[in-house]
A = this chain, B = another copy of it.
Amino acid sequence: MVGRPGLSTMPRRTGEFARIATFFAPLTAGFSGALGLRDDAAVFAPTPGSDLVVTTDTIVETVHFVGDEPAALVARKLLRVNLSDLASMGARPCAYTLNVAFPDKIDDGWLADFVSGLEADQREFGIALAGGDSVSTAGPVTLSITAFGEVASGAALRRTTAKAGDLIYVTGTIGDGALGLRGLRGRIDGLDPSLAEALATRYRLPQPRLGAGQALCGVASAATDVSDGLVADLGHIAEGSRVAAVIDAEKVPLSEAARAVLARDPTCLETILTGGDDYELVFTAPPGARDRLEAIASETGVALTLVGVIEPGTGVRVRGRGGEDLSFRQSGYSHR
């Protein structure tokens, strides 16, 4: 590794220490394991009898966000997509590390807003900053979060453990995030502004289903979160578990806003089922779990909706209103 004259070597940066002390160290409040970001690493004790769950996501300006959004929203969505992965494993969030690469244009105002978003979500989800790294870049803002959670030993929900005969459920409503993005791109006409705003909010600020995920440990047979789209993510369960998944499009729970969009333009069904950015959970459970699932829905306040069944075979089938298979292509869906 050869440095150029004038380039800094590995982890140093003028002003980095001050920036960390001013903006990031306060995010460790209440989490002694962060050592105030003043040591070489974070140190914390996992709860005895628990497994550690670790997930990480990176987002890049102009690829994953435009760059003119409020910095607080960028921060919160990044944290929440990681929390959604913890939710899908049934884990309780503990702490996270943050890696930031900032170009010179990032000023203290942007940074303060970014940190305020993290602060808000740390309070909401009971998680604290454990450590991180802050570096310069000549390129776009690049942000990574690695989130740590805990789950009772051996109890983590997996994608690979669905069985034929299990029923398929989803939390909340499906399609709002993708429709929200579509609306923000100006590709939904004539929707009531308050409904359009509701969809946009689902896209901008997903709601990780942490309570439901934890409650589903020992009840669900398999789970994942819906980030790539319901069909694709259910496909991960089907492929990982070596089974087929069959869902009824009519049973997929929709918000009022999504129903309004779909009523005006039935081709939006593809966006709803394949668009992604839902950050709901899709999971399987044996038929005998029905009473426990009703109790979990009641306790967590999160709707759990039966949408299909696991069968022997491979792949994902989506049945339409008349029982026919729907097939989705990039530019629309068609009956086959």
Using CB atoms and an 8 Å cutoff, list the residues of chain A in contact with chain B.
1-5, 7-12, 35, 38-46, 48, 51-60, 62-66, 68-69, 73-74, 77, 81, 85-86, 88-89, 91, 97, 99-101, 130-133, 135-140, 142, 144, 146, 148-149, 151, 153, 156, 158-160, 178, 181, 184-185, 187, 203-204, 224-225, 227-228, 236, 240, 276-277
Does the CB pair A60–B1 fall under 8 Å?
A: no
- CB closest residue in chain B, given A48: B48
Closest 5 CB pairs of A and B: A139-B139, A41-B55, A46-B46, A99-B144, A40-B85
* Given A56-B132, A140-B137, residue A43 in contact with residue B51 (CB < 8 A): yes
Closest CB in chain B relative to A300 CB, distance in Å? 19
Does the CB pair A55–B40 fall under 8 Å?
A: yes
- A204 contacts across to B, CB distance below 8 A: 1-2
- CB closest residue in chain B, given A236: B38
Closest CB in chain B relative to A87 CB, distance in Å? 9
- Sample 30 A-B pairs with CB under 8 A, ordered by A number: A2-B204, A3-B181, A4-B66, A7-B62, A7-B63, A9-B64, A9-B178, A9-B277, A10-B59, A10-B276, A10-B277, A11-B227, A12-B227, A35-B158, A38-B159, A39-B89, A40-B224, A41-B91, A42-B53, A43-B89, A43-B151, A44-B51, A44-B52, A44-B54, A54-B131, A55-B131, A58-B135, A63-B138, A97-B146, A139-B142
Does the CB pair A59–B142 fall under 8 Å?
A: no
Does the CB pair A41–B138 fall under 8 Å?
A: no
Does the CB pair A89–B41 fall under 8 Å?
A: yes
- CB closest residue in chain B, given A12: B228
Does the CB pair B137–A60 fall under 8 Å?
A: yes
Does the CB pair A10–B133 fall under 8 Å?
A: no
Cα distance A51–B38 when bound, in Å? 18
Does the CB pair A64–B224 fall under 8 Å?
A: no
Query: Quick one: which of B51, B187, B228 contacts A45, CB cutoff 8 A?
Result: B51
- A187 contacts across to B, CB distance below 8 A: 5
Q: Which of A58, A148, A240 has the most chain B CB atoms closer than 10 A to its own CB? A: A58
- A185 contacts across to B, CB distance below 8 A: 3-5
- A160 contacts across to B, CB distance below 8 A: 35, 38-39
Does the CB pair A45–B52 fall under 8 Å?
A: yes
- A66 contacts across to B, CB distance below 8 A: 1-4, 7
Cα distance A153–B44 when bound, in Å? 9
- A77 contacts across to B, CB distance below 8 A: 1, 10
Cα distance A101–B53 when bound, in Å? 23
- A135 contacts across to B, CB distance below 8 A: 58-60, 63-64
- CB closest residue in chain B, given A6: B185
- A57 contacts across to B, CB distance below 8 A: 10-11, 99, 133
Does the CB pair B137–A142 fall under 8 Å?
A: yes
